[in-house]
Amino acid sequence: MQQEITFELAKQLKFYFHHFSKTPASTIIKISKTLDVKYDYEAGGSLAEIRGLLASRLLSFDVNIPFRKLTPAEISFVDDISVLEAINV
């Protein structure tokens, strides 16, 4: 079960890294709304996944920045080699 969770989180990490790098100046909220429409997600679905990545410490940001104003340029992605290897499985 743990391996499945890790693989799913790694897929999400790769997905959001791709989309965040395309629009680094847009807010996370705007990107989430766009992805929800583009991929026919339930409203707030992509934002929930991003919050899950933050909770899993695969993404991090300065908590002094209001989340509604947060942009991909202000988010750090995990640099743990084991997680990065899982993405390429």
| Chain-centre distance for alpha carbon 30 | 13
pLDDT tens, position by position, 18-47: 999 999 999 999 999 999 999 999 999 999
Angle (CA) 71-51-32 rounded to 5° is 50
- pLDDT value for 3: 44
pLDDT tens, position by position, 59-86: 999 999 998 999 999 999 887 655 555 5
* CA neighbor of 56 nearest in space, from 29, 26, 31, 77: 77
Report the predicted TM-score, pTM, of the whole model to 2 decimal places: 0.79
